[in-house]
């Protein structure tokens, strides 16, 4: 069966989603939403640096609802609960990379999404590399243990090549180290990581007592040029956050990120350049996931390599479309879906 899909936005991740939809024998692109007026009426292929696809972007949500797609690929930077509820109430499933896993981070928005799913008989699934796929990797790693004492999942990267000032400033980059709101800023901007901690606890069969965030920071001693903006000396150029799930008075789930920019960090944090899962139990298990370009990959700058990050963010959601369309109505996670595989992408 072919699933009719609408692409929601054509930013960095959205562009890779459109390519995947075009290349998948299981998917048919029937519409595209664009919030930027300059993109309205432009062929989606043109917006994504491809040959024309015969589908033009629009900001007319009613027109997209009238298409009655099976699924929306939802790739904005941040979730809009009003829009998501409108889609779900119309019976349209959603796979999202935009700050959504279980919906806990959305407060009352979570119950609104669940009600919209009930009204429309639809499902919403949130994933990405982290949070999302990395947490699945953590659960798979723990699956060979007969005792689990603690799961630590770490994203540890130098993100200097990622030029997205709105996203980066939201987690504290470029802020003065003595800013009293830094901790709150990080907790607010990374709240979806708390979703992933709740998901992990549920998969382990326990009810977590508390999920909380702790953060630390490093500064740069020299200007860090990020193309569209600059982090000045003394400003935050390293952010480390730990989203923690506590059970029976002990730390059971620790979802960490360590992001640095530039080579002049103080203190000089060392990064893993990948994703690391550590399971403490019987046995102890360490799993590392690294991402590298294929032999035929062409890049002229560090920024060109960032496209790999967009691919690994978008593809878990794309590959989940058939399972999400077949799922029972509601908020669904990896705990609810069958194996999500890269079906249709063997070259």
**What is the tens place of the pLDDT at every residue in 81-91?**
999 999 999 99
Question: Which one, of 312, 287, 248, lies nearest residue 143 by Cα?
Answer: 287
Average pLDDT score over residue span 136-141: 97
Is a pLDDT exceeding 80 seen at residue 308? yes
Higher pLDDT pick, 331 / 298: 331
Give the helix/strand (H/E) hosting 186: helix 182-189
Predicted local distance difference test score (pLDDT) of residue 54: 98
Question: How many Cβ atoms from other residues are within 10 Å of residue 338's Cβ?
Answer: 11
Average pLDDT score over residue span 289-301: 89
Q: What is the largest CA-CA distance in the chain?
A: 58
Query: For domain 3-127+320-332, is the CATH number 3.20.20.70?
Result: no
Share of the chain above pLDDT 90, in %: 93
Question: Distance of CA 131 to CAs 63, 114, 256, Å?
Answer: 32, 20, 10
The single residue listed with the structure tokens 């019976």 is 91
pLDDT digits (tens, 9 = 90+) for 269-294: 999 999 999 999 999 999 999 999 99
Predicted local distance difference test score (pLDDT) of residue 77: 87
Tell me the sheet residues that pair with 260. Answer: 158, 238
Average pLDDT score over residue span 317-340: 97
User: Phi and psi at residue 335, in whole multiples of 5°?
Assistant: -70, -20
Predicted local distance difference test score (pLDDT) of residue 301: 77
- Structural domain boundaries of the chain? 3-127+320-332, 130-300
Distance CA 2, CA 61 (A): 23
Mean pLDDT (the chain) is 96
Q: What is the CA radius of gyration of the chain?
A: 20
* pLDDT band per the 50, 70, 90 thresholds, residue 256: very high
Is a pLDDT exceeding 80 seen at residue 302? no
* pLDDT band per the 50, 70, 90 thresholds, residue 11: very high
pLDDT digits (tens, 9 = 90+) for 189-247: 999 999 999 999 999 999 999 999 999 999 999 999 998 999 999 999 999 999 999 99
Higher pLDDT pick, 163 / 100: 100
Predicted local distance difference test score (pLDDT) of residue 162: 83
Q: Which two tokens stand for residue 30?
A: 């029937």
Structure pTM? 0.94
Predicted local distance difference test score (pLDDT) of residue 304: 82
3-state secondary structure of 191: helix
Predicted local distance difference test score (pLDDT) of residue 237: 98
Average pLDDT score over residue span 160-171: 89
Predicted local distance difference test score (pLDDT) of residue 306: 86
Share of the chain above pLDDT 70, in %: 100
């Amino acid at each position: 069966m072919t699933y009719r899909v609408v692409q929601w936005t054509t930013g960095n991740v959205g562009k890779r989603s459109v390519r995947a939809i075009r290349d998948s024998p299981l998917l048919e692109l029937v519409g595209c939403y664009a919030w930027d007026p300059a993109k309205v009426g432009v062929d989606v292929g043109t917006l994504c640096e491809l040959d024309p696809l015969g589908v033009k972007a629009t900001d007319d949500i009613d027109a997209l609802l009238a298409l009655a797609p099976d699924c929306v690929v939802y790739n904005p930077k941040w979730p809009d609960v009003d829009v998501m509820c409108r889609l779900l109430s119309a019976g349209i499933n959603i796979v999202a990379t935009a700050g959504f896993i279980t919906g806990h981070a959305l407060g009352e928005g979570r119950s609104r999404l669940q009600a919209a799913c009930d009204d429309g008989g639809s499902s919403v699934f949130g994933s990405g590399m982290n949070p999302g796929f990395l947490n699945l990797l953590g659960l798979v790693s723990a699956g060979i243990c007969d005792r689990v004492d603690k799961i630590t999942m770490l994203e540890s990267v130098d993100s200097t090549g990622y030029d997205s000032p709105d996203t980066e400033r939201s987690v504290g980059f470029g802020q003065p180290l003595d800013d009293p709101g830094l901790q709150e800023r990080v907790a607010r901007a990374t709240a979806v990581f708390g979703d992933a901690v709740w998901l992990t606890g549920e998969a382990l069969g326990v009810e977590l007592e508390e999920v909380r965030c702790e953060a630390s920071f490093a500064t740069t001693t020299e200007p860090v040029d990020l193309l569209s903006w600059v982090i000045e000396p003394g400003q935050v150029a390293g952010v480390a956050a730990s989203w923690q799930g506590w059970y029976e008075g002990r730390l059971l789930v620790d979802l960490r990120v360590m992001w640095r920019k530039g080579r002049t960090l103080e203190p000089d944090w060392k990064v893993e350049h990948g994703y690391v899962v550590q399971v403490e139990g019987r046995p102890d298990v360490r799993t590392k996931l690294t991402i590298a370009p294929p032999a035929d990959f062409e890049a002229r700058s560090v920024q060109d390599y960032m496209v790999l990050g967009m691919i690994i963010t978008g593809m878990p959601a794309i590959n989940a479309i058939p399972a999400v369309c077949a799922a029972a109505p509601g908020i669904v996670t990896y705990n609810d879906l069958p194996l999500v595989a890269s079906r249709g992408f063997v070259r």
